[in-house]
Amino acid sequence: LLVNASEASARKMPDTLFGIFFEEINHAGAGGLWAELISNRGFESGGHKFPSSIEPWSIIGDESSVIVSTDLSSCFDQNKVALQVQVLCDNKGAKICPDGGVGVHNPGFWGMNIEQGKKYKLVFYVRSQESINLLVGLTGSNGLKKLATVVVVAANVSNWTKVEVLLEAEGTDPNSRLELRSTTKGVMWFDQVSLMPLDTYKGHGFRKDLFGMLKALKPAFIRFPGGCFVEGSWLRNAFRWKETIGPWEERPGHFGDVWNYWTDDGLGHFEFLQLAEDLDALPVWVFNNGISHNDQVDTFHVLPLVQEILDGLEFARGDPDSKWGSIRAAMGHPEPFDLRYVAIGNEDCDKTQYHGNYLKFYSAIKEAYPDIEIISNCDASAKALDHPADLYDFHIYDNASTVFSLANHFDGAPRNGPKAFISEYAVHGNDAGKGSLLAALAEAGFLIGVEKNSDAVEMASYAPLFANNNDWTWKADAIVFTSSQAYGTPSYWMQHLFKESNGATLLSSTLQANSSDSLIASAITWRNEIDDNEYLRIKVVNFGSSTVTLKISISGLEQNSFQSFRATKTTLTSTNVMDENSFEDPKKVSPVETMVEKVSENMDVVLLPYSFTSF
């Protein structure tokens, strides 16, 4: 490998090159990054209709002592469904309640992680003609292990009344549930029951461990909120930003019909922008352009949707005294968010209304916000676009050898038109399993190609980001979690080896003709903010089954600079190329760092079979 470190052969790479893509898929947000512990907090998961579905709420007691149903009596206009609980027993009459009373419980998203000493804020709305004594508790999954109990006396609640309770856990159980019990005979209604840990990132509602794993990647941007989630199978189920802002109780929530689950939209437009800011990443908002998987808004009728998006931009960027900016300010963020990128739709280029709709959105956004960079869904890597765009979206999911070979895909892409945003790349199918080393190596090879073509590619992000271990709709993913645990797949760890690349300098590096086809390499220099020193980084993927001894020759550095060099070598490999990480062995395939004994301008380095090595 010949590396030329002279300035003449160098090129700065985009500051935005590597980021992340968050989609509400596999319960990534609801039951994942968003720390809300109650699943179906508004009893709306069956839709805004009567009867709706209370799933996963269940009754405590039997049907001779408690009957539950839904009706449309909520005080919240946009989500009218409420839970009616009819208690048929009490402590003194003919029908005595079982110990502790009867009521309902919610297991969260496959169990709530309740931790000893931590505090949880419970909020709910209640109504009843009677004055009721409620026993509010956190328990283990079968209700026997008590983790926190508070008695709430709800008197004078003939009108809907908000109740707030702080619960402090006296024990730990990752599989806990919330219970609402009573021994007061009569009928009561509940709505909008929320249980939030106080311990979230900056109190912003993000689960700390999962947030930390994102932050550790140092993403330059975060694309959100999908993917197909943005489109919907049907337009009526697409993500509509206006329905995800303001007080959480008033958000209608919606059924994500592509990934097949309900979300209360606690993680809404504001929270996504906040997430980007907290990650120190630029937000990239993908919005629905009037196209779903099965229906489309004719361009002739699209202007109301265009206005909706302009309003969403004002919400993000407008002055705190503008119509929509003032709502953002009221939500606690008077300063505008740094929104500079939007994508018009997702994977919609071939849809009949796309071009017409795109142009309507494009011209309206450019007129109001000339600095916003607009991303088209149409691939311009081989053929020029027939419409204006700042960037074009490119998605690739394929088997490992195809993804590895696509490292060269952008060699011939135009350098003077819109740049590529590879917003979704991953190995998919058998080669990926639930996240294999093989997949990570192919993706690493692909990303090395992205670095080398970073004059044609401006941004790239892996997909999907998260999978709740109880809802693997899409495999593989970067981060797998349960209520209490999380691990990175090899593809997650692979991305760590690229986190110095944003804004770094790409050096010329050439593998000589006799090198194997299974090798790909890049060389960069990057400045470490901590010590303000400049470092050289060489990355090589060995995508073959043989050990390779690679001679690295570095030219263009001052003669004596090698004397002062210290080098580390980080390797991502494993004994079997199909090895995966798991909760039992979360770091089986993860980077291992060692010191390099001797650094010189000509070095022989050993590359293990199926490995990704960074020097």
Binding site for ligand AHR (CB under 6 A): 23, 25, 226-228, 346-347, 395, 424, 463-464, 474
H or E element that contains 612: strand 611-614
Specify the pairing of strand 221-224 against strand 282-287.
parallel
Beta bridge partners of 154: 132
φ, ψ (nearest 5 deg) of residue 272: -65, -40
Smaller CB separation from ligand AHR, 44 or 424: 424
Smaller CB separation from ligand AHR, 283 or 464: 464
Nearest distance from C-beta of residue 250 to ligand AHR, angstroms = 28
Distance in angstroms (rounded) separating the CA atoms of residues 518 and 560: 33
Contacts of 554 (CB under 8 A, 6+ apart): 3, 5, 536, 601, 602
Distances (CA, A) of 549 to 26, 435, 451: 41, 28, 23
Distance in angstroms (rounded) separating the CA atoms of residues 507 and 557: 12
- 3-class SS at 301? helix
Nearest distance from C-beta of residue 259 to ligand AHR, angstroms = 8
Nearest distance from C-beta of residue 218 to ligand AHR, angstroms = 22
Smaller CB separation from ligand AHR, 32 or 464: 464
Distance in angstroms (rounded) separating the CA atoms of residues 176 and 284: 36
Nearest distance from C-beta of residue 467 to ligand AHR, angstroms = 11
Smaller CB separation from ligand AHR, 211 or 229: 229
Assigned token pair, 562: 């090698």
Nearest distance from C-beta of residue 308 to ligand AHR, angstroms = 21
Smaller CB separation from ligand AHR, 206 or 229: 229
Contacts of 78 (CB under 8 A, 6+ apart): 243, 250, 251, 252
Nearest distance from C-beta of residue 577 to ligand AHR, angstroms = 24
Distances (CA, A) of 198 to 37, 118, 119, 138, 202: 11, 8, 6, 15, 9
Nearest distance from C-beta of residue 33 to ligand AHR, angstroms = 16
Q: For 466, what's the count of Cα atoms within 13 Å in the CB-facing half-sphere?
A: 30
Smaller CB separation from ligand AHR, 447 or 567: 447
Q: Dihedral through CA 473, CA 396, CA 490, CA 217, nearest 10?
A: -100
Distance in angstroms (rounded) separating the CA atoms of residues 483 and 471: 12
Nearest distance from C-beta of residue 13 to ligand AHR, angstroms = 25
Nearest distance from C-beta of residue 18 to ligand AHR, angstroms = 17
Pick from 282, 318, 298, 316: nearest CA to 391? 282
φ, ψ (nearest 5 deg) of residue 275: -60, -45
Nearest distance from C-beta of residue 377 to ligand AHR, angstroms = 10
Assigned token pair, 422: 């590879």
Distances (CA, A) of 38 to 41, 108, 277, 524, 605: 6, 5, 26, 46, 53
- Ranked by CB distance to ligand AHR, the top (closest) residue is 227
Nearest distance from C-beta of residue 381 to ligand AHR, angstroms = 17
Nearest distance from C-beta of residue 347 to ligand AHR, angstroms = 5
Secondary structure of 109-172 as H, E, C letters: CCCEEECCCCEEEEEEEEEECCCEEEEEEEECCCCCCEEEEEEEEECCCCCCEEEEEEEECCCC
H or E element that contains 364: helix 354-368
Q: What letter would DSSP give residue 457?
A: E
* Number of neighbours of residue 214 by Cβ within 10 angstroms: 24
